Amino acid sequence: MEELERCIAMMDASLFFSDKDLRHKASIDADRQFHALISSASGNPILETFHSDLMSMHLKGKMWMRMESMADNPAAHGRWIKDHKKIFAAIKGGDGDAAEAAMVEHLDNVINTLCG
């Protein structure tokens, strides 16, 4: 839980970094760590492999380039940070159904932002 909280704190803090490159890198790194921690904590080897493979493809593809170009958009960051906070709150509260719903909402928000 502490590591997830640190990721969210870094996402929040990154919005205020004056250096654009640092702001971008910190936000992206915190996002990656957040999702990797959840994947790893699931104890589900299929999810862990899926996440690892997805990130490997994601870092090389067009989607990654589009996400990179959008990463400095404060509105998009704010929305995704709120999503992450909602996911974290559900996990911390032990509410699996709410965590799943929050993750689905987050994925929808990301897809809608990238494809919308």
Q: Which of 111, 11, 29, 28 is nearest to 68 (CA)?
A: 28
**pLDDT of 14-54, one tens digit each?**
888 888 888 888 888 888 899 999 999 988 999 888 888 87
- Supply the range of the domain harboring residue 74: 2-115
- Residue 72: the pLDDT is 52
pTM strictly above 0.75: yes
Q: How many domains does the chain fold into?
A: 1
Contacts of 95 (CB under 8 A, 6+ apart): none
3-class DSSP state for residue 4? helix
